[in-house]
Amino acid sequence: MGPMLTAVEQAQLKFSDPAIRAQVRAWHDEGVSFLDMVDRIGLSDLFTGPLRDAIAGLSPEEVATIRKAMIVAIDRAGKSADVVMPVNCQLDPAIGPVVVTPEDRGGEPWAKVTAAK
């Protein structure tokens, strides 16, 4: 058996499935919380402890930044499996509060996640 995938890698695998993306898109429209989405797509066991706390601690503005980037990426991807989650996070693992800021990548909105200072 190969190495275990991180929570973010597992989320990326889920995100590559057009059917799951369509459901996630609907949840964004409904305002479902990120942690509820994680639970609904079956990743609760990977999003625990400090990572879960970091997500729960996001401000409304940070949530809006992520939602915008995700909705644009989902709409752009259509039925393709060749899509990347628009989140730039180099924290491995997330061990405390984070800050999410908008980032432009070639005219596409992304969410940049960094450690809070």
Quick: pLDDT tens for 70-86: 999 999 998 888 899 99
Q: Where are the domains of the chain?
A: 7-115
User: How far is 65 from 70, CA to CA, in rounded Å?
Assistant: 9
pTM above 0.85, yes or no: yes
Mean pLDDT is lowest, of 28-37, 41-50, 63-72, for 41-50
- Mean pLDDT of all residues belonging to the chain: 90
60-77 and 18-30 are packed helices; what angle lies between their axes, rounded to 10 degrees?
140
Q: Report the run of H or E that residue 105 belongs to, with start and end.
A: strand 98-105
User: How far is 104 from 8, CA to CA, in rounded Å?
Assistant: 20
Q: Report the run of H or E that residue 15 belongs to, with start and end.
A: helix 7-15
Residue 29 scores a pLDDT above 70: yes
Per-residue pLDDT tens digits for 102-116: 999 999 999 999 989
pLDDT, average across residues 98-103 = 96
Per-residue pLDDT tens digits for 58-72: 999 999 999 999 999
**In percent, how much of the chain has pLDDT > 90?**
68
Residue 33 scores a pLDDT above 60: yes
